[in-house]
Amino acid sequence: MGQPEINLGIIPGFGGTQRLPRIVGAAKAMELILTGDLISASEAKAIGLVNQIVPEGDVLQRVQGLAKKIASKGAKAIAAVCETLQAGLNVSPTGFAYEAEQFGKLCETADMKEGLSAFLEKRQPKFTDR
């Protein structure tokens, strides 16, 4: 797992710069985004990015068990929890708009083209800051 976009000369899009700091903290988010490093499932769990690690063969059974447990609760209370939690986590549309603007600008750069070419050619990029 990771945010490898910096290796392509761009930034994470679709809220990556906005959501990740709220989950793992600003310092860890900055480290992950600026290095482009990938992390293991156990590290993702340790920093709160995921809440469970499940063996591949057990995923469906685990998900069905969790869904059944939640479905046994009151629907109105479940809806209230979901709405209240989301309302508290809502982030400023300004941050998302700014991220989208920066992402778009970076997608027009020579560095993005070099980063993408390097990725496809399985080599290190040679960025020129253009």
- Convert the chain into a string of H (helix), E (strand) and C (coil): CECHHHHHCCCCCCCHHHHHHHHHCHHHHHHHHHHCCECCHHHHHHCCCCCCCCCHHHHHHHHHHHHHHHHCCCHHHHHHHHHHHHHHHCCCHHHHHHHHHHHHHHCCCHHHHHHHHHHHCCCCCCCCCC
Per-residue confidence (pLDDT) for residue 97, from 0 to 100: 86
Per-residue confidence (pLDDT) for residue 114, from 0 to 100: 92
Per-residue confidence (pLDDT) for residue 37, from 0 to 100: 96
Per-residue confidence (pLDDT) for residue 3, from 0 to 100: 95
CATH class of domain segment(s) 4-120: alpha beta
- Scan for tokens 């600026």, then name that residue: 34
Q: Tell me the pTM.
A: 0.73
Nearest to 7 by CA among 36, 32, 39, 30: 36
Question: Along the 130 residues of the chain, how does pLDDT read in single tens digits?
Answer: 999 999 999 999 888 998 999 999 999 999 999 999 999 999 999 999 999 999 999 999 999 999 999 999 988 889 988 888 877 777 677 888 888 899 999 999 999 999 999 999 999 999 998 9
Per-residue confidence (pLDDT) for residue 119, from 0 to 100: 93
